[in-house]
Amino acid sequence: MTLADALPAAADPPEALIGPNSVLQLEQALLEAGGPDLAWQVFDAAGYARLLEDRPSAMIDEAIPKALFDTLFRTLPARQARAVAERAGRLTGRYILEHRIPGFARLILKLLPARLAAPLLLKAIRQHAWTFAGSGQCSTGAGRSSHISIRRNPVAMPECVWHGRVLETLFQALVSPSTQITHTCCEHAGDDVCRFEIELAA
């Protein structure tokens, strides 16, 4: 078996759907930050309190996490909202590592030099971007200036900290623990694309 065989195969992206962990891990982050009351406050204000009892187990409408994250940043102090969104991103990244990337692929990526592992991970991310970018158009670039861009990002938020921590978690675990992700363009701030620059270990 080769690494190409072990990495998840490309799938046809469902229209306007996104992975349920965009909601499930936000709930967990809210529970950690303030318990059930805080989770209820945000989900209820967004109109999705029912999801705290009927948790999604399949792809969901991307409008749901958009409403939840918009409500998070609208109702909580900026620093707290950012911390919750970042924690939700880390948790989502960990879930992807544990449940969406086969063990053989994880092992090989960790053994490869960062300059070789990064393009492989970028390819897998691009092929499955709809799991975290919904209907957004994802493109990647590898080399001296590796990056991930999402055009028409349906879950754009201040500095897109959720996406940044999802991506950083994957790269730190599979490519280099010192990887840093910098968000250089943001649709939420009026740019025409969300762009994440990837700084690997020297």
pLDDT per residue over 10-41, tens digit each? 444 456 899 999 999 999 999 999 999 999 99
What is the average pLDDT score of the chain? Answer: 90
Please check whether residues 85 and 116 belong to one and the same domain. no
Please check whether residues 111 and 170 belong to one and the same domain. yes
Residue 16, SS3 per DSSP: coil
Residue 75, SS3 per DSSP: helix
55 pLDDT higher than 90: yes
C-alpha dihedral sign at 178, 194, 72, 28: negative
Please check whether residues 79 and 136 belong to one and the same domain. no
Is residue 11 in a domain?
no
Domain count, the chain: 2
- Tokens standing for 149? 């861009």
Give the CA distances from residue 179 to residues 18, 94, 121, in Å, rounded to whole numbers and listed in that order. 26, 16, 13
Which residue, of 94, 129, 150, is where some domain finishes? Answer: 94
What is the pTM assigned to this prediction?
0.89
Confidence of residue 1 (pLDDT cuts 50, 70, 90): very low
2 pLDDT higher than 80: no
Please check whether residues 47 and 111 belong to one and the same domain. no
**In contact, 67 and 46? CB cutoff 8 Å:** yes
Is residue 70 in a domain?
yes
Full residue range of the structural domain in which residue 178 is found: 104-199
